[in-house]
Structure 1
Amino acid sequence: MKHIRFYFDPISPYAALAFERLPEALAGQSYSVDYVPILFAALLKAGGQKGPAEIPAKRAWTYRQIAWHAHQLQIPMQLPTPHPFNPLALLRLAWASAEPGRTPSRLAVERIFRHVWRGAGADPNEPQRLADLTQDLALVQDPEGEPVKQALRGATDAALAAGVFGVPTLELEGRLFWGLDALPMVAACLQGDAWFDGGAWEAAGAAPPGVQRG
Structure 2
Amino acid sequence: MITSYNVKGVGDTLIIILSNSEGKEVEAIRKGDVACVTLKETGDIVGWNIFSASHKITNLVGDGQVQLSPSQITELNLAVKEAGFDAEFTADNSPKFVVGFVKECEKHQDSDHLNITKIIVDNEEELQIVCGAPNIAQGMKVVVAKVGAMMPDGMLIWPGELRGVKSDGMVCSARELGLENAPAKKGILELPETAKVGKAFNFNITINE
- TM exceeding 0.5: no
Point out which structure has higher relative CO (alpha carbons under 8 A, 6+ apart): 1
Output the TM-score relative to the length of structure 1.
0.26
Structure having the larger proportion of residues in helix? 1
Highest CA radius of gyration, 1 or 2? 2
